[in-house]
Structure 1
């Protein structure tokens, strides 16, 4: 699928069907190119840096079949190790010689390239990234090496009680759904992956009409548009549609599973099937997660660790997903405390369905969540990430404002309603010593 770059000659041919630049936020502009690429530009002249995020929609682990689990991750590990013209050493020298940063990562719902450099070097680094994106060679030796390293990582995770508990819980909740397995895959699935699998994955999911480019830093929208046209403007979108994934229906059917390991502490993990990011209940569950398990002032930390001394570690988290995400509470505790730890976690979550939060509790959770959210948008890398991420998830860049407004409007009654809807009967994953 990879098309050659234009031999260093910029493609300056005018386009006729591009959507006009639109302003979503101050200093932020957005453009959709002729070939379907979405470009977001956040101009920030404060520092001589440009950070970029290049997202391919739904090209993460969500695109994998179970017998090919780990394919997106392996692709991300190898894709920067060679192109049709450059070796892995050539690429490394080009990046390191100017102190730039360039990497690839496979997330749950998308595939991501990251780029960071001083403004003067950005055009050269952009051309290099475009060549990696469009013409990777996937050297056989690199595929074999990264496959072995991945299998080692999988085995290493199997020695970590938290990861063992989380993998077990994930399998309980999601079964054959792509969310039911680690992004690394399994030993058996990774062992079967080939160079041809990586090539096919690239040819299928790397296409301009699935690409979101988010740039932040010392760059104007006009300059950004010109540079992106130079390196990606001649990349044509295929006429065939992407394969439509068929996911198993997710229904909550809680049960308990436990694994016995040689460990000094037990891991107790409760999981509830939440919702997808485009649901109106998503911000409410984010706020509940913050209240329960975010930081030293969170409800779980104060009640179960500080007051009762049950936990070495206790928290809650609720990831952002295109499909229904898991709402997790967990605790690391002494083996003798397992039963009371399970009851403590259950009771604290159940309390949200029965007792309305006080105004002080509610406002405290909002302040914490919105404060941390604001602090997560301080650097060019963070700005490029969050706006590109929202666009990639189908929420559009306006969701930055919409999310904050939604959090501010959450009431105690709404938390009761949402908690009763999702946080009823949990799955239980337990890792304990003999």
Structure 2
């Protein structure tokens, strides 16, 4: 069980002690992501994530990574739709050095103009890479179509046009607005005591102060019913991604929806994998996953097939959805999905990095500790009726959004909704 400590001006610290390991994972989570951006600054959260590594008053761009490499640690970061995270993992002996680097880049980035111009080109290449990665492109376009007009439809990378308009001043203004104590969670897990972690964080974040904008909940779910998006690409396969209404993070159906996902499309023994790949031989891989946010969500199914098989694959997916809605999960599928998720939770908590991530995200979204025993108990309470309700909530074909990318991608949306 972890410990949640509130520090200066609303800064929160989550600590999960694990004396059985010799590592410490640390992360800084901030409620600043694509959902917070206006069109003119699209991609700014992600651009800031890049730029904080480009030097502080105490460290050059080389020193930032060299100070981590010199103690054998690892540092990285990511930007999501709802938040940004900066994180490290190291031997327990070097937790203080890692927290010092994390705090330095988080609190005191320079946003140097020359570095900004270089990094702008780097992010443009990242956009180019995403454009050349059809499965990523397909899902990005899917979210933009499914959540059209909603903040969750914002593209994390932004566009080349929006990036061109970003300046050091605009990055500083955005950072001042969102990088505040009350919007920040520090998560630490591993061979470190709560007292040690609190002392370190108080020391490293002593200068962190300021008022925060109130956390404004995302607007209620608004899906572009019947959305379809198609992008022509000179590639061998057609990439297909489907989005259905999901469930909110922590809602009463959240665990049931995860069990449905596991049985329907997340495992090699799942219905879609067994039908579309093993029985029909139409694809190499097919998978589904739940993207859950504070009061919104999406359930995504993705695969890639030869153009001639696109309609047949869509029909197979549609038929499996119909069967699920008609008959529900079998008792064996319900128990298998339950056990898959419980095992994933337990095994994940044996890794300090997974624990740190789970606690940080959960505290940022809910203001509470992530209690694995409570999650396991929730899974045990899921009934067949809960699973049926979750499936009926998610799989509403008339609400489905469809994204296809390929040489001459057919409009399979009518098949899915048929």
TM-score, normalised via structure 2 length: 0.91
Q: State whether structure 2 residue 92 is matched by structure 1 residue 122.
A: no
Gaps of 5+ in 2: 409-418
CA contact (8 A) 2:253 2:386 kept: no
Instruction: Answer whether contact 2:217 2:294 (CA < 8 A) is retained.
Output: no
State the match for 2:21 in structure 1. 47
Match of 1:258 in 2: 230
Instruction: Determine which structure has the larger helix proportion and give its number.
Output: 2
Correspondence for 1:146:
119
Stretch of structure 1 that moved more, 108-117 or 243-252 = 243-252
1:223 aligns to what SS in structure 2? Answer: helix
Verify: 1:33 aligned to 2:3, yes or no: no
Matched, 1:223 2:209: no
Q: Secondary structure at the match of 1:271?
A: strand
Residue 168 (structure 1) shift: 2.4
2:137 aligned to 147, 153, 164, which one?
164
Tell me: CA distance 1:263–1:388, structure 2 relative to 1, closer, same or farther (3 Å): same
Distance 2:291 2:122 in 1: 26
Partner of 2:415: none
1:268-300 superposed Cα distances (whole Å, 9 cap, x missing partner): 222112122132122222111111111211111
Question: What is the aligned partner in structure 1 of residue 153 from structure 2?
Answer: 180
Q: Distance in 1 between matches of 2:21 and 2:152?
A: 39
- Cα distance in 2 for partners of 1:64, 1:133 equals 19
Q: Structure 1 regions of 5+ residues with no counterpart?
A: 1-24
CA contact (8 A) 1:37 1:211 kept: yes
CA distance in 2, matches of 1:124, 1:158: 38
Q: Deviations over 1:348-374 (max 9, x none)?
A: 122221112211111111111221222
Of 373, 378, 402, which residue of structure 2 is paired with 1:428? 402
Please name the residue that 2:43 is paired with: 70
- In the alignment, is the contact (CA less than 8 A) between 1:390 and 1:399 conserved in 2? no
Distance in 1 between residues matched to 2:106 and 2:229, nearest whole Å: 42
2:187 and 2:357 in contact (8 A); partners too: yes
Residues 106-142 of structure 1 show CA distances to partners (whole Å, capped at 9, x for unaligned) of 2221121112233333223323322222111012222
Q: Residues 161 and 113 (structure 1 numbering): CA distance in 2 closer, same or farther, change over 3 Å? A: closer
How far apart are residue 395 of structure 1 and its match?
5.9
**Is 1:407 aligned with 2:390?**
no
Question: How far did 1:260 drift?
Answer: 2.7
Find the residue that maps to 1:292 and give its secondary structure. Answer: helix
Work out the number of aligned pairs and report it. 406
* Alignment partner, residue 213 of structure 2: 241
Q: Does the Cα contact within 8 Å between 1:75 and 1:198 map onto a contact in 2? A: yes
Distance in 2 (CA, whole Å) between partners of 1:224 and 1:283 is 32
Which residue number in structure 2 is paired with residue 387 of structure 1? 359
CA separation in 2, counterparts of 1:235 and 1:75?
A: 18
Q: Secondary structure at the match of 2:9?
A: coil
Q: Which residue of 1 aligns with 2:79?
A: 106
Asked if 1:59 is matched to 2:32, the reply is yes
Partners of 2:146 and 2:45 in 1: CA distance: 22
Please state whether the residue corresponding to 1:315 is helix, strand or coil: strand
- Aligned match of 1:88: 61
CA contact (8 A) 2:256 2:390 kept: yes
CA contact (8 A) 2:260 2:390 kept: no
Query: Partners of 1:176 and 1:295 in 2: how far apart?
Result: 33
Closer, same or farther: CA 371–120 of 1 in aligned 2, 3 Å:
closer
Query: In structure 2, what is the equivalent of residue 328 of structure 1?
Result: 300
Q: Distance in 2 between matches of 1:99 and 1:337?
A: 49
**Secondary structure, in 3 states, of the residue corresponding to 2:135?**
helix
Root-mean-square deviation (CA, aligned residues, Å) is 2.1
Contact between 2:345 and 2:372, CA under 8 Å: does it hold in 1? Answer: no
